[in-house]
Amino acid sequence: MENFTSNPISKRKVLMLARHEIKELLTMNAALEAVEYTFRLHAQGKAFMPSKLYMDIPEGKGDFRAMPAYIGGTVGIKWVSVYPNNHIYHLPTVIATIILCDIATGCPLAILDGTYITEMRTGAAGGLAVKYLARKNSSVVGMIGAGKEAKTQLLAISEVLPKIKEVKVFDLCKDTSLRYAEEMGIKLNIYIRPVETIEAATEADIVVTTSPSRKPIVKKHCVRPGTHINAIGADAKGKQELESGLLASAKVVVDDIEQASHSGEINVPLSEGLIKVEEIYGTLGEVTAGIKKGRENNEEITVFDSTGLAILDIICAKLVYEKAKEREVPVFDFS
């Protein structure tokens, strides 16, 4: 991927892309390639990404996050809200907008719906983790949580692990599990069955957690040797899906050590002194770049702690922007 800037003549013309347009431009296979490229650059120190800025809303309904990033000659920011009760209004929990800017002039190049991009890049990061950390003969996937993130997680996993025999899905809402099983089963032609307990879902080769839990829901004694876990739900201080003892005994790989330390799956056990930063194995970027090994045997338990990186949003947004330009999508003139 090359650096990109706008034509000075059209520097005030801005692409505006809605969700339905982005869905036509961003496939999971393309997202996987972009995310792997991004993680490698991140490991090589070729990205600049300040920590997320969190702003809690006084009424307590949710929070906003500002996520700026520069990578590969591309600069931009994602402004994202997380409102857990949005299902009441039939809206997604996460709603985001991404702005890409011209690196040469600072002028805006594109304003994109960031919600779908967030879903896809999060799924792709999970798929990449499975590629490098799960056992090669993995065939059973356990999903804990059946929302939008669970869908893109499975979509990405099916791209890197084409021989899935069974998917177990658990959600606190049984109807959500049933809908997930029907929709994703048809979409991916995979056998998916709802299960009654979290313990049943953990009886798998790969376990994916996408809940907003603030207390451990996956216990150490329920996870078999050789399991890989994608811990996706913990993305803010105080959130935790995995029992601290499980993290202490596993090979833990994070997307970014600083961000994960204050808002990822490891944030609670770190704050309680149950694990130490130096005990974290490394980053997914280090693994994909070959700086560190991924899975080393069939018995170790591996965990990918995903917090969501702004550089992934920006690279995927850049990919969408470039494809939109090729299709000559209409632009909004700010001049």
If you write DSSP's letter for every residue of 184-243 in order, what string do you get? HHHHHT--EEE-SSHHHHTSSSEEEE----SS--B-GGGSPTT-EEEE-S--STT---B-
* Contact yes or no for 15/109 (Cβ under 8 A): yes
152-179: buried (b, 16+ CB within 10 Å) or exposed (e) per residue? bbbbbbbbbbeebeebbbbbeeeebbbe
3-state secondary structure of 141: strand
Phi, psi of 314, rounded to the nearest 5 degrees? -70, -40
- Please tell me the predicted confidence (pLDDT) of residue 13: 84
Of 113, 34, 19, 15, nearest to 316 by C-alpha is 34
Instruction: Please name the residues in contact with 90: beta carbons below 8 A apart, sequence gap of 6 or more.
Output: none
- Please tell me the predicted confidence (pLDDT) of residue 162: 87
Look up 78 and say whether it is catalytic.
yes
- Please tell me the predicted confidence (pLDDT) of residue 332: 64
- What is the residue-level pLDDT of the chain in tens, covering all 335 positions? 555 544 444 456 899 999 999 999 999 999 999 999 999 999 999 999 998 899 999 887 899 999 999 998 999 999 999 998 898 999 988 999 999 999 999 999 999 999 999 999 999 999 999 999 999 999 999 999 999 999 999 999 999 998 899 999 999 999 999 999 999 999 999 999 999 999 999 999 999 999 989 999 999 999 999 999 999 999 889 999 999 999 999 999 999 999 999 999 999 999 999 999 999 999 999 999 999 999 999 999 999 999 999 999 999 999 999 999 998 776 665 55
What is the model's pTM? Answer: 0.92
Options 11, 78, 131, 151, the catalytic residue: 78
- Please tell me the predicted confidence (pLDDT) of residue 330: 66
- Please tell me the predicted confidence (pLDDT) of residue 205: 98
- Please tell me the predicted confidence (pLDDT) of residue 3: 54
Instruction: Please name the residues in contact with 332: beta carbons below 8 A apart, sequence gap of 6 or more.
Output: 13, 14, 15, 16
**Fold designation for 121-308:** Rossmann fold (3.40.50)
Cα dihedral value 320, 323, 328, 330, nearest 10: 0
- Please tell me the predicted confidence (pLDDT) of residue 251: 98
- Please tell me the predicted confidence (pLDDT) of residue 209: 98
- Domain chopping of the chain, boundaries: 8-118+311-333, 121-308
**Fold designation for 8-118+311-333:** ornithine cyclodeaminase, domain 1 (3.30.1780)
